Structure 1
Amino acid sequence: MSRSSLMPVFDGHNDVLLRLMRGKLPPEQAFLEGDNIGHLDWPRMKQGGFVGGFFAVYVPSESTGVDVDALMTHPQYDVPLPAPLPLATSQQVTVHMAALLIRIERASKGEVKICRTAADIRDCIDTGKLAAILHIEGAEGIDPDLHMLDVLYGSGLRSIGPVWSRPNIFGHGVPFRYPSTPDTGPGLTERGMELVRACNRLKIMIDLSHLNEKGFWDVARLSDAPLVATHSNAYAISPHSRNLTDKQLAAIRESRGMVGVNFATSFIRPDGQRNDDTPLEEMIRHMDHLIEHVGVDGVGFGSDFDGATIPAEIGDVRGLPRLVEAMRKHGYDEATLRKLCYENWVNVLERTWGQ
């Protein structure tokens, strides 16, 4: 299948920068030439119709010694969260990972672009370039005075999740717990509230995916931007703490916001299991529910490629056409498919960035 015949896919979340940072090959080479490791590299993206997305900068914690894969096959589980990270270490890793994306852009000779406007994204889709959004997943690398926020914004940062699941100075994340509601503890701190205000001023998108429910409502109360969860699913189908309740979905709809469907099987399956033997129909159930509660203009993809166990039927980014075809057979028409696959993301970013 030629690239021109593929449905374009713009995606709400991936962790390829973390994988490249940990890899053995030079990151620019591994990504641009392809290393066939994990879920993503540029040659495979072109084969799958992947035209762009949010590239996460995530600072990993040291191992807690818990076998998370084994734990998440239990009927019930509560994964212990790592301790908060020190600022100096977090800043070093944050700068390292942001530099990886900047170097990939430079080495690509025009094939990859870090996008700062919706017009940038549209141009990339039209011309066959990869549209990359620099995104922070967990703001551990940002200091209390937000100096680093300005530095990163100048480097192209246009999206930020104040927390990953572990706590930091800005707030409290939601744990990996099943079964559990997302109402798991306190929300944003005073510094977290100031971070939200600063992001509003700079027109940086705020990602709600790892915030607990109190943090979600803190952002909803403070923010003047659309409410966006880049990689989250429906709690009504999978009662996992990482998923969104119908009340949260209603607030996202009211704000003209967006939810990206997460491909992680533990957030798809009604039993909360990390198991790649998960039919695509289970993902489409989430899409149906999200469309019902958020609207057809507020749903897209948030794959979590290179950061999650995804359905074996997808495999890696080259499996996206199989997912699109399953959605087509389910009954989504071509106009709906275009919205879900890429148009909704571009439109919500335009509403958020004001460009």
Structure 2
Amino acid sequence: MIPVFDGHNDILLRLLLDPARRQEIFLTGEGKGHLDLPRMKAAGFAGGFFAIYLPSPIAHDDQDYQTLMQNPPYALPLPDLIPFAAAIEPAVQTAGHLLWMERASEGALKICRTAADVRGCLASGTIAAILHMEGAEAIDDSLDALHLFHAMGLRSLGPVWSRPTIFGHGVPFAFPSSPDTGPGLTDAGKRLVAECNRLRIMLDLSHMNEAGFNDVARLSDAPLVATHSNAHAICPSSRNLTDRQLDMIRDSGGMVGLNFSVSFLRPDGRQMADTGWDPILRQMDYLLEKLREDHLGFGSDYDGCTTPDVIGDVMGLPKLVQALSDHGYDRPLLERLAHSNWLALLDRTL
């Protein structure tokens, strides 16, 4: 079994929403959601980026959004900005859940702060967890909270999750749509980029609009990374990356993690789990063509999306690797895609 290091998951959100049951959710394994410790071990899940994500207090019923996304075209309204005062407490609680996971796993999972930590975990069979922040609502204008979270282990940050922050603007969930949907980074966002560079916190461009992407590319001295995004040429969602963006990521020495969300995989943009291997293989082939072999990996978005039935939960990772093998990808390439490319990217960023 080839171990898989994954670009993005949202298991911490499940713990934030139901903290009284976190032992059952993570340690025991209920067969619900996409991730838990028993299934991670069984599937060869070597680790990944564990996201602090704060759900929006949206007015519309979630089922309304699901129905709209099953029947494109759609353009979902973005929630309002969440102010720092409302974000800091749940964000700290979410980081605390990952610290709890490390302790409760009794050595099976380790929070990693350096690339060497991640390599050590892969060598020992320990799950490597990097703390990520998806949407920087819990960072204040002074950036003091950035240093707080860095001390907790934060090593990756997305300035936005689609809704706006004081740092920039994300893309709405829209299909078909260009990612060119609004203005770029604010002055605070430009300072955030500089401080993340100084602290060696990786900047994640998933969810960011095109103008913000361009600003980060101009200001940052680090490789450009989109941890969980796909190719716009195959699936013209606002969340996906144009050929120009893919070229810029490759040329910077960066990375893209293939998002397993069906609405970002399928050419028709439909959020339908009844999806086979073809859209996944088309995305992988196209991304390989644009990025080359050293700049592509997996960014599942487990516990944060609707995955194809053929993949399902984390137990689908070996199936995905086998499908790519059957498609003609050789063992050295599969190892790059599964973990080596992410490790090399971490060497260049952290």
Normalised by the size of structure 2, how large is the TM-score? 0.98
The residue correspondences of 1:48-127 to structure 2 (distance < 5 A) are 48-66=43-61, 67-127=64-124
Distance 1:253 1:155 in 2: 30
CA distance in 1 between partners of 2:331 and 2:278 (Å): 18
CA shift, 1:17, in A, is 0.4
For structure 1, which segment, 104-113 or 131-140, has the greater mean C-alpha deviation from structure 2 after superposition?
104-113
Question: Contact 1:226–1:257 at 8 Å: present in 2 too?
Answer: yes
CA distance in 2, matches of 1:100, 1:61: 19
Report the secondary structure of 2:49's partner residue: strand
Query: 1:88-167 maps to which residues of 2 (within 5 A)?
Result: 88-167=85-164
Cα distance in 1, alignment partners of residues 54 and 105 from structure 2: 25
State the 1:290 CA deviation: 1.0
Cross-structure match for 2:224: 227
Q: Counterpart of 1:209?
A: 206
- Cα distance in 1 between the residues matched to 2:273 and 2:31: 19
Please give the residue correspondences for 1:298-317 in structure 2 after superposition, counting only pairs within 5 Å: 298-317=295-314
Partner of 1:3: none
Q: Is the 8 Å Cα contact of residues 137 and 161 (structure 1) preserved in structure 2? A: yes
Q: Which amino acid aligns with 1:331?
A: G
Question: How many pairs are equivalent?
Answer: 348
Q: Tell me if structure 1 keeps the 8 A contact 2:16–2:90.
A: no
In 2: Cα distance, 1:320 partner to 1:104 partner: 22
- Structure 1 CA distance, aligned partners of 2:295 and 2:27? 31
1:291 equivalent in alignment to 2:301: no
Mapped pair 1:19 → 2:14: yes
Q: Residue in 2 aligned with 1:335?
A: 332
Q: Please give the per-residue CA displacement for 1:215-245, whole angstroms capped at 9, x wherever unaligned.
A: 0000000000000000000000001100000
The residue matched to 2:25 in structure 1 has which SS?
helix
TM normalised by structure 1 equals 0.96
Listed as ranges, the matches of 1:248-327 within 5 Å are 248-327=245-324
Task: Tell which deviates more after alignment, 289-298 or 58-67.
Answer: 58-67
5+ residue gaps, structure 2: none
Deviation at 1:35, TM superposition (A): 2.6
Q: CA deviation at 1:201?
A: 0.1
Q: Distance in 2 between matches of 1:29 and 1:150?
A: 32
CA distance, structure 1, for counterparts of residue 140 and residue 19 of structure 2: 31
Q: Quick check: 1:42 aligned with 2:42?
A: no
> Structure 1: any 5+ residue segments left out of the alignment?
1-5
1:53 is paired with a residue whose SS is strand
The farther-off stretch of 113-122 and 131-140 is 113-122
How much does 1:24 deviate? 6.2
Q: Per the alignment, in what secondary structure is the counterpart of residue 291 of structure 1? A: helix
Return the letter of the residue paired with 1:350.
D
Distance 2:106 2:81 in 1: 39
Match of 2:27 in 1: 32
Superposed CA offset, 1:290-323 (max 9, x none): 1111111000000000000000011110111111
Q: Give 3-state SS (helix, strand or coil) of 2:280's partner.
A: helix
TM-fit CA distance, 1:64: 2.4
Corresponding residue for residue 166 of structure 2:
169
How many angstroms does 1:126 deviate by? 1.2
Letter paired with 2:255: M
**Aligned amino acid, residue 319 of structure 1:** G
Cα distance in 2 for residues equivalent to 1:26 and 1:115:
25
Q: CA RMSD in A?
A: 1.0
